[in-house]
Amino acid sequence: MDIFDLLAEHDYEDLVFIHDGPTGLKGMVAIHDTTLGPALGGCRMYPYAGEHEAVVDVLRLARGMTYKAAAAGLDLGGGKSVILGDPRTDKSGALFRAFGRRLETLGGNYIAAEDVGTSTDDIAYAELETGHVVGRSREHGGSGDPAPFTALGVMQGIRACLGEVYGTPSAEGRTVAIQGLGHVGYHLCNLLHREGARLIVADVDGAAVARAAHELGATPADPDDIIATECDVFAPCALGAVVHDDSIPRLRCSIIAGSANNVLLEDRHGEALAERGILYAPDYIINAGGLINVAGELGGYDEERVRIRVMGIHDSVQRIIALSKRDSVPPHTAADTLAEERISAALSDGRPGTGPAPGRASRLH
């Protein structure tokens, strides 16, 4: 598809191509929507097969951030950037400084953070040239590792789902199957264990599984079979696209709620879950704790304020379940509605953000 057709399809505000000869920087910044505030999103570095692939990816990711920030109640818009290159071989401090210089010219309309293929060290180089970055380490006055807050948000989302399905939000005595014991998964296991849940865990890293078994009394499972475990909650915390035509018939859970992005291979798989009576907590709602944490750097980081906001993911998930019932739609559709309603409301009463021109109210689809 032609690039302007792609921009028109979801009414993107901006797509900026960035180039710096001396450092070899080639990248793009996509700004989808700034109705609620400046666009915030990570900077991804990836060896894209070509420019078109990079454009499609950065646009898709930027739009996803609009929905995530809006549904999380943040006064932020959606944006993302990509750098074309291999993060293992093509990085340099000079390249990220050049990236920072280009961000500075955008005047704060886009705020970058680390993402797949980039690190806080890379962002620190960009920060030498611009103030429009977040995701600094705690030592440098930043928000630090987002994973504990992502896990806390997932825990709150699980509690909301348990309340809906079993009438009580407590995880005590519930069986939770966790796929992936990385930064988020392990923190989540700790929170669940503290509340008295029975854990069944899988990871391709045997040492992580052994640790969970030893420290938390978790029962190990085969990574290929964890999705078919009989449990109350299946928590995908490793890969995306785990819910698809082949895996849906294997599921033996009542709830799917985890940190992974893009859990549904396609939207129609969310409908299939609803038909099977499995409650799905939409990924970008339940895993917003990390975004809320990093956004907390804007205006001065206050850990307690961030914690309170992340605890609010419980109520967000409850609201989405209610919307889903009201409109007889699956939760992932209700999540989109929640985000769109918030943006439409901001457009109609003229608050807050850097603000696009009036008349964009029906533009998100």
Is residue 183 part of the contact set for ligand NAD (CB under 6 A)? yes
Residue from 24, 182, 355, 356 touching ligand NAD (CB under 6 A): that is 182
Q: Does 225 bind ligand NAD (CB under 6 A)?
A: no
The 132-171 contact track toward ligand NAD, x by CB under 6 A, reads --------------xx--x---------------------
Q: Which of 26, 68, 80, 91 is catalytic?
A: 80
Q: For residues 304 and 224, what is the distance between their CA atoms, to the nearest angstrom? A: 39
For ligand NAD, the closer of residues 103 and 294 by Cβ is 294
Total residues found in the chain within this entry? 365
Helices 303-311 and 147-166: crossing angle, nearest 10°?
30
> Is 325 an annotated catalytic residue?
no
- Percent of residues in the chain assigned helix, strand, coil, to nearest 5: 45, 15, 40
Residue nearest to ligand NAD (CB): 182
User: Phi/psi of residue 110, each to 5°?
Assistant: -130, 135
Residues 232-271 that bind ligand NAD (CB under 6 A): 237-240, 259-261
Residue 205 within binding range of ligand NAD, rule CB under 6 A: yes
Complex with ligand NAD: residue 279 or 286, whichever CB lies closer: 286
Total residues at interface with ligand NAD (CB under 6 A): 25
Pairing mode of beta strands 175-179, 198-202: parallel
- What are the structure tokens assigned to 227, written together? 């999705």
| 3 state DSSP class of 114 | strand
Measured from the CB atom, the residue of 8 and 204 that comes closer to ligand NAD is: 204
User: How far separated are the first and last CA of the chain, in Å rounded?
Assistant: 17
Task: Note whether 297 and 134 are within 8 A (CB).
Answer: yes
Q: Which is nearer to ligand NAD, 7 or 298 (CB)?
A: 298
At 5, give phi and psi (nearest 5°).
Answer: -65, -40
| Binding track over 278-307 against ligand NAD, x by CB under 6 A | ---------x--x-----------------
Do 121 and 113 form a contact (C-beta atoms < 8 A)?
no
Tell me which of 169, 223, 312, 356 binds ligand NAD, using CB under 6 A: 223
From residue 57, alpha-carbon distances to 52, 80, 156, 202, 236 in Å are 9, 9, 30, 30, 23
Per CB under 6 A, residues contacting ligand NAD are: 146-147, 150, 179-185, 202-205, 208, 223, 237-240, 259-261, 287, 290
Residues annotated catalytic, as ranges: 80
